[in-house]
Amino acid sequence: MRRKLKAVIFDLDGVITDTSEYHYRAWKRLADEEGIPFTRDDNDKLRGVSRGECLKILLKEKQVSDEKFQEIMNRKNEYYVELLGQMTSKNILSGAKELVLGLKRRGIKTAIASVSKNTRTVLQGTGIEDLFDVIVDGYSVKNTKPAPDIFLFAAKELGVKPEDCAVVEDAEAGIDAALAGNMLPIGIGPEERAGKARYRFEKTGDITLTKLLEIINF
Ligand code: BG6
Ligand code: MG
């Protein structure tokens, strides 16, 4: 029989908060200014990917100087942070907080593992900074998703073995990272994006506590 898992690690943008929409709007504003075509499908490839890697994907073969690259990255972040200024607890995705509280009540550890350098700002703005046992972000590790490093670091901070962790992710890069880290991936989103996960839900609100406990065999 499969053993009980001890911890659930959550991605932030697009899993706990709806801030993936703000990432999209910030990139869209920037892409329009730079004359780069950019659709919501293009944006899906940027989910879970660090800011610099996102820009490389966006620029494709287009060559820019290091200064320009840095300037564009900063501008994207300015637009994103501007949008974060309007944030409240309404930006928490439906069902997310209840799910984490339910896990905690049963003694299951929880963490946030996001490659975003704005993780703390998002958690503070939505008022859930104290909800998780551990928070790891874009400053915690060098190699970002799809490398497993951020999830392995979260597991270490939680004091739990990687194989005792489940990961909830909306990004293909994040699901790949969880698999590479020998963790159980639970995907959020359509088959094209989250299909590689062991379990998949259309949205966070579809994962009930009962279902999640069943998945982690608790
Ligand atoms: C991830 C998002 O959580 O954070 C990506 O899914 C984003 O879209 C990445 O690029 C980095 O975020 P930030 O806030 O450091 O630019
Ligand atoms: Mg995400």
Spatial contact of 190 and 179, defined as CB atoms under 8 Å apart: no
User: Of all protein residues, whose CA lies closest to atom 8 belonging to ligand 1?
Assistant: 47
Q: What is the pLDDT of residue 61?
A: 87
Q: What is the whole-number distance in angstroms between the Cα of residue 1 and the centre of ligand 2?
A: 31
- Report residue 193: phi and psi, to 5°: -100, -40
Q: What is the whole-number distance in angstroms between the Cα of residue 159 and the centre of ligand 2?
A: 24
User: Of all protein residues, whose CA lies closest to atom 13 belonging to ligand 1?
Assistant: 116
User: What's the token pair of residue 140?
Assistant: 């915690």
pLDDT (tens digit per residue) in 41-66: 999 999 999 999 999 999 998 899 99
Closest atom, ligand 1, to C-alpha of 76 = 16
User: Of all protein residues, whose CA lies closest to atom 14 belonging to ligand 1?
Assistant: 116
Judged against a pLDDT cut of 80, whether residue 3 lies above it is answered with no
Average pLDDT, the chain: 96
Structural domains of the chain sorted by starting position, each given as residue range(s) with its CATH number in brackets = 7-18+92-215 (3.40.50.1000), 20-84 (1.10.150.240)
- Report residue 121: phi and psi, to 5°: -60, -45
The strand pair at 165-169 and 134-136 is best described as: unpaired
Position 38: which residue type?
A: F
pLDDT (tens digit per residue) in 124-146: 999 999 999 999 999 999 999 99
Residues 138, 115: Cα–Cα separation, whole Å: 4
pTM here is 0.97
Instruction: Provide the percentage of residues in the chain whose pLDDT is more than 70.
Output: 99
Judged against a pLDDT cut of 80, whether residue 1 lies above it is answered with no
pLDDT (tens digit per residue) in 54-111: 999 999 988 999 999 999 999 999 999 999 999 999 999 999 999 999 999 999 999 9
Q: What is the whole-number distance in angstroms between the Cα of residue 204 and the centre of ligand 1?
A: 18
Closest atom, ligand 1, to C-alpha of 46 = 8
Q: Which ligand number lies closest to the CA of residue 23? A: 1
Q: Which residues are catalytic?
A: 11, 13
- Which positions ≥6 away from 26 have C-beta within 8 Å? 76, 77, 79, 80, 82, 83
Residue whose pair of structure tokens reads 């100087």 in the numeric block:
65
User: What's the token pair of residue 115?
Assistant: 């490659």
Judged against a pLDDT cut of 90, whether residue 115 lies above it is answered with yes
| Ligand 1, residues at Cβ distance < 6 Å | 12-13, 20, 23, 46-51, 54, 77, 114-118, 138, 171
Q: What is the whole-number distance in angstroms between the Cα of residue 26 and the centre of ligand 2?
A: 15
Residue of 153, 154, 87, 152 lying closest to 122 (CA atoms)? 87
